[in-house]
Amino acid sequence: MGHPGVELHNLHFERGPHRVESWFLQQIFKVIGPAPLRFTFPNGAEASPPGISPIATVVIRDRWTLAELIADPEMAFGEAYAEGRIQVQGDLVGALEAVYDSSPSGRAERSRYQCLTSAWMNWLQDNTPSGSRHNIHSHYDLGNEFYKLWLDAQLVYTCAYFPTPAASLETAQEAKLDYVCRKLELVPGETVVESGCGWGALALHMARHYKVSVKAFNISHEQILHARRRAVQEGLRGQVEFIEDDYRNVSGQFDAFVSVGMLEHVGIHHFAEFGEVIHRCIGHRGRGLLHFIGRSYKSDFSRWIRKRIFPGAYAPTLAEAMNVLEPYEYAVSDVENLRIHYAKTVEHWLERFEASSDQVSAMYGDWFQRAWRLYLAGSIAGFRAGTLQLFQITFAGARSAPTSWTRAPLYQDIHQPGAVTLWTHATS
Amino acid sequence: MGHPGVELHNLHFERGPHRVESWFLQQIFKVIGPAPLRFTFPNGAEASPPGISPIATVVIRDRWTLAELIADPEMAFGEAYAEGRIQVQGDLVGALEAVYDSSPSGRAERSRYQCLTSAWMNWLQDNTPSGSRHNIHSHYDLGNEFYKLWLDAQLVYTCAYFPTPAASLETAQEAKLDYVCRKLELVPGETVVESGCGWGALALHMARHYKVSVKAFNISHEQILHARRRAVQEGLRGQVEFIEDDYRNVSGQFDAFVSVGMLEHVGIHHFAEFGEVIHRCIGHRGRGLLHFIGRSYKSDFSRWIRKRIFPGAYAPTLAEAMNVLEPYEYAVSDVENLRIHYAKTVEHWLERFEASSDQVSAMYGDWFQRAWRLYLAGSIAGFRAGTLQLFQITFAGARSAPTSWTRAPLYQDIHQPGAVTLWTHATS
């Protein structure tokens, strides 16, 4: 979808206008819209859209990169940024957000080549049991030392809940863990199954503060090892069992099902299977919570993100996510969109990541450090601009016990884990 | 779907077992499951499922009714109840709820005849502009005096919000109006369009307490007349315009779109059209709220309800409702399921209705009085059992201003209309 409203023939060249660069730039702005960016070209020419003061400068090192950007921007930008052939001087997050904003729908029009490659990639990265192992390993098994550099102390790698915008990341992650427990209305003695438990923070929080017993599944080997160590150190081994296995192999009967940040890795073609697992675990009497990155419109992640960061990942719309729940008549009781909290969460991550960038480069090289910076910055931009959403869905089986009368108790004493007093449902 | 688990050959006949009745009863229990009901037959025989103590007695007056119940229970029960050929002694709501509960999925298996008739009825009652006028007229134009007998003083004919279960209906409806305004985060001076405004209570509440100007649409003539009178009496004519027209003809640009209890009358085949209207009104910058009766699984209303009470009505699942919002990339910010509040609301309505049943019979006859009692009782049962849900969806355009940082402000001072203090979204 082009931007016929922008006078692209009228680009403001500050230095050395050149016919070839001028043409390239017009092509770029056709894709990204009138973003407030200055472009610097291999020959030293500089240009920006007319009448807009630039917030960052995109330096393109060679003509080949320029050509790639035109041919396949979805892949070329990330590749060139990670390799240092493109640099962004100034506010990287702001620049990416500006691009999302200047493209009215957040959806760039894709060429036939891009569509085919994208579908091919989806097929290659399908989340079969072995595909999932590969996809998850490549991201989550990078080494716990790496994630310790920029996550919070508990290593919670999902959207936090900031009671106020000024809350610290540690407070906000603790608040999120508790918020999830409150939404689930956990009662001491209940049983909970967690699908995709990361480094174990939520499972341990539930056990410690809500006195429930938890079976937590994950196929990331590094994460499970860490979680098990924590359970032992914190004396919670009797209450929490960490199991290194695929969600499809989850077995047992539970009062509640919870999955935070895993649905993105299930893949849309496996939603029915995922719903089946939930139903096997909690039947019609249980309840559950799904927390995941979603969309307000159907869209794949960029091919670059799927190639370099999150193979096999897909962020569903709410309608798509219902394919997990509706076949078993689970009734949605609550959906909350926390995208501004995720923007804030990743701002904290990126700040810590930047502070450790030398260490990251030393561990994995400059390419990796730049690629991950771009991924984090792009995530902030996406959550700010609304091309990404964060949905927290609470649901209940057709025969589950009545829930709280209102949501008001969720907002009492949010900082006191375990202190929740639920209103009782008085049936007349 | 039968209930092979129930020993239907072992029905407990208290008096006069008879081969024909016994067979009929087994057929009935195959459809409704092992509900705790006693059946009394034309010949005086009485029976109930074994080992279950009955909570109500269903009196069937003649064999023809019995045969109809077997052939087409979805239609026959309502028809026979309204005509007095079936009576329910004891707790009518409880009896209906027990039937919903004893049928595991809430979905009775339909015969081919029932499926065809249902589809034919959907086609006949399609909500085209003229179809909608007819469908709406037959229910909402029964006369304001009738609704005054059993609704609250403001005539709010949608789910109320009970801050506590003991709140009065008047308080709960006022709280609902305010809750909707808070969820919309209305700011003085803004413009709001309301689609399907009933007797005008919400539009007037928004104007009075939130100082916004409202254009409110409705095709019920009786309702619009009442709403206009109120606007004049309350000195709000400058702020609220009540327009007797179809939602498809809504025009103008607004900050917010709100529709409470109308989506059920749009019909699933017109959801795209409805989304188009919303987009025309608020574009990508506005926000809105949809409040409607929904489902946790795809299902039509019973043919009896569509024939006698709500022609053309359809309660969508969340996934289906997304067909209104996703084409225009509206991001859902909040979904709340208020079904237990709707059960409570209709309990109040039914109590007032029963207290005025002589007047209702005098106005419209016994048939009408019984039919409406059944509709109200069945609604309570449906909301309690979860065969009906009530969804309140808040959504925002891709370029709308940021919303409140958390939902906590929604739960501050819920009883002080207009006193809401929204947290500001601090972008880092």
Q: With contacts defined as CB-CB under 8 Å, which chain B residues touch A323?
A: 319
pLDDT band at residue A143 under the 50/70/90 scheme = confident
| Chain A residue at shortest CA distance from B165 | A426
**Residue A346 DSSP SS3:** helix
For A31, phi then psi, to 5°, come to -80, -45
Distance CA B186, CA B193 (A): 12
**A171 interface with B at CB cutoff 8 Å:** no
Q: With contacts defined as CB-CB under 8 Å, which chain B residues touch A284?
A: 104
State whether B405 and A333 contact (CB < 8 Å): no
Cα torsion through A264, A270, A276, A279, rounded to 10: 10
Q: With contacts defined as CB-CB under 8 Å, which chain B residues touch A325?
A: 296
CA within 13 Å, CB half, A69 = 28
Alpha-carbon Rg for chain A in angstroms? 23
**Closest by Cβ to A330, choosing from B296, B334, B428:** B296
- How close B267 comes to chain A (CA, Å)? 18
Beta bridge partners of A292: A391
pLDDT at A428: 29
**Closest by Cβ to B340, choosing from A298, A325, A405:** A405
Of all residues in chain A, the percent with pLDDT exceeding 90 is 69
Average pLDDT for residues A331-338, to the nearest whole number? 98
**A407 interface with B at CB cutoff 8 Å:** yes
**Closest by Cβ to A297, choosing from B329, B384, B423:** B329
**Closest by Cβ to B336, choosing from A334, A384, A399:** A334
**Residue B193 DSSP SS3:** strand
Distance CA B350, CA B261 (A): 19
For B398, which DSSP code?
T
Domains of chain B: 8-109 (3.30.1050), 129-411 (3.40.50.150)
Q: Which of B337, B342, B348, B394 is the best residue to mutate to test the A interface, defined by the most A CB atoms within 10 Å of its own CB?
A: B337
pLDDT tens, chain B, 428 aa long: 334 334 445 566 666 556 777 788 788 888 787 889 999 988 888 888 888 889 999 999 988 998 898 888 889 999 999 999 999 999 999 999 999 888 755 455 677 777 888 888 888 888 888 888 888 877 887 888 999 999 999 999 999 999 999 999 999 999 999 999 999 999 999 999 999 999 999 999 999 999 999 999 999 999 999 999 999 999 999 999 999 999 999 999 999 999 999 999 999 999 999 999 999 999 999 999 999 999 999 999 999 999 999 999 999 999 999 999 999 999 999 999 999 999 999 999 999 999 999 999 999 999 999 999 999 999 999 999 999 999 999 999 998 987 899 999 999 865 444 433 332 222 22
Q: Which of A64-68, A77-81, B13-17 has the lowest mean pLDDT?
A: B13-17
State whether A326 and B317 contact (CB < 8 Å): yes
Q: With contacts defined as CB-CB under 8 Å, which chain A residues touch B402?
A: 340
State whether A319 and B336 contact (CB < 8 Å): no
Contacts of A51 (CB under 8 A, 6+ apart): none
| C-beta separation of A206 from A186 below 8 A | yes
Q: Which of A102, A296, A425 is the best residue to mutate to test the B interface, defined by the most B CB atoms within 10 Å of its own CB?
A: A296
**Closest by Cβ to A329, choosing from B297, B411, B426:** B297
User: What is the number of other CB atoms lying within 10 angstroms of the CB of residue B135?
Assistant: 22
| C-beta separation of A171 from A416 below 8 A | no
Residue A334: pLDDT over 60: yes
State whether A284 and B104 contact (CB < 8 Å): yes
| Residues in A 340-369 with any Cβ partner in B closer than 8 A | 340, 344, 347
pLDDT at A422: 30
Cα torsion through A63, A64, A68, A69, rounded to 10: -30
State whether A326 and B405 contact (CB < 8 Å): no
Q: With contacts defined as CB-CB under 8 Å, which chain A residues touch B428?
A: 165, 344, 347
pLDDT at A125: 86
pLDDT band at residue A4 under the 50/70/90 scheme = very low
Residue A190: pLDDT over 70: yes
Q: Which of A97, A285, A332 is the best residue to mutate to test the B interface, defined by the most B CB atoms within 10 Å of its own CB?
A: A332
Q: Which of A329, A354, A384, A427 is the best residue to mutate to test the B interface, defined by the most B CB atoms within 10 Å of its own CB?
A: A329
State whether A296 and B384 contact (CB < 8 Å): no
Average pLDDT for residues A20-43, to the nearest whole number? 82
State whether B326 and A317 contact (CB < 8 Å): yes
pTM over 0.90: yes
Q: Which of A1, A285, A335, A392 is the best residue to mutate to test the B interface, defined by the most B CB atoms within 10 Å of its own CB?
A: A335
**B304 interface with A at CB cutoff 8 Å:** no
The count of residues in chain A is 428
